[in-house]
C-alpha cells in the first residue's frame, strides 16, 4: 500500500481531487487530499498573513506522521511540495510535479511564473492588495483552468477562494542536500495554454543524477477534473 498526499494549487481546495481519490483508494492505496490554510474547510482562515511558508507547514505537519509518501503538487503547489520535502526528506518517497511550478532554491512563484506579478499588481489596483481573486473563465478551449464542461465549471467555481499575495512572494527553501536524492516525476498537461502562461523545460537530469521522468496528458491545467482516470493510472505507476 502506498500513501499518496495530493496538494492542490492556488485558489483551489482539497475537493479538486474528488475524482482521483476514489480511483487510487479502489486500487488499495491510502490517499490524503487536504485543503491548505485559507481554502475549502479552512477558508475562514484566509488572511494577509498566509503565505507559502504557511502552506509548507500544513504539509510538513502531515508528513510527520507518515512514511514513504508519494507527494503530488499541482500548479502553485510545486513550490509547496519542494519546500516540504526539503524539511522532511526522509518521509518522501517520490515528488510528483503535476503541471506544476518547479522552483530553484530562493525562487518565488513570481520568479517561476512571471504572470504572477501581473496578478499581484491588479490586486493592488482593484482590491485590497493582499489577495488575488480566482482567474476568470476564458473562451474555449481555455475555459476555467482548462475545464470547459459547463457543469464542471460550475462545480470548480464553487470551490475557489482568493489567493494571498504572500503565497506568491515568499521564496521556496531547497537547501537540504538530502532532498536532492528524492526521485521526481513530472506530469504535464499539454492542452491549450492561455496567453502569458510560461513553462520551464524539465531538466534532462534530476537533482539525484537520474534522467527526468516526464509524462504528458492531452488536456488543460486541471487534469484531475478533466482526466481523472488517466491521471490516476499514471500515479499508480509510482505505487
Instruction: Give me the active site residues, please.
Output: 75
Q: Length of the chain in residues, anyone?
A: 239
129 and 140 Cβ atoms separated by less than 8 Å: no
Residue 172: name the closest of 97, 91, 68, 64 by CA: 97
127 and 133 Cβ atoms separated by less than 8 Å: yes
Q: Which long-range contacts (CB under 8 A, 24 or more apart) does 139-142 make?
A: 141/191, 141/192, 141/220, 142/192, 142/193, 142/194, 142/220
Place of cell 498566509: 50
55 and 167 Cβ atoms separated by less than 8 Å: yes
Cα–Cα dist 218/234, whole Å:
13
Amino acid at each position: 500500500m502506498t500513501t499518496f498526499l495530493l496538494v492542490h494549487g492556488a485558489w483551489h481546495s482539497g475537493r479538486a481531487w474528488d475524482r482521483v481519490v476514489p480511483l487510487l483508494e479502489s486500487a488499495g492505496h491510502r490517499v490524503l487530499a487536504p485543503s491548505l490554510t485559507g481554502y475549502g474547510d479552512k477558508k475562514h482562515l484566509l488572511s494577509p498573513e498566509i503565505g507559502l511558508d504557511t502552506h509548507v507547514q500544513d504539509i510538513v505537519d502531515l508528513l510527520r506522521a507518515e512514511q514513504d509518501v508519494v507527494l503530488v503538487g499541482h500548479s502553485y503547489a510545486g513550490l509547496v511540495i519542494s519546500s516540504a520535502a526539503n524539511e522532511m526528506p526522509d518521509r518522501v518517497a517520490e515528488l510528483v510535479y503535476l503541471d506544476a511550478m518547479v522552483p530553484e532554491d530562493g525562487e518565488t512563484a513570481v520568479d517561476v511564473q512571471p504572470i504572477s506579478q501581473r496578478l499581484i499588481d491588479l490586486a493592488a489596483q482593484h482590491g485590497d492588495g493582499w489577495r488575488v481573486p480566482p482567474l476568470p473563465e476564458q473562451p474555449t478551449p481555455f475555459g476555467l483552468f482548462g475545464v470547459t464542461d459547463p457543469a464542471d465549471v460550475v462545480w470548480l467555481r464553487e470551490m475557489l477562494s482568493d489567493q494571498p499575495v504572500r503565497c506568491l512572494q515568499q521564496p521556496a527553501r531547497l537547501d537540504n542536500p538530502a532532498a536532492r536524492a528524492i526521485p521526481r516525476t513530472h506530469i504535464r498537461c499539454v492542452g491549450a495554454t492561455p496567453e502569458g502562461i510560461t513553462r520551464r523545460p524539465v531538466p534532462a537530469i534530476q537533482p539525484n543524477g537520474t534522467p527526468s521522468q516526464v509524462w504528458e496528458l492531452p488536456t488543460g491545467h486541471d487534469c484531475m477534473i478533466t482526466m481523472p482516470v488517466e491521471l490516476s493510472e499514471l500515479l499508480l505507476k509510482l505505487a
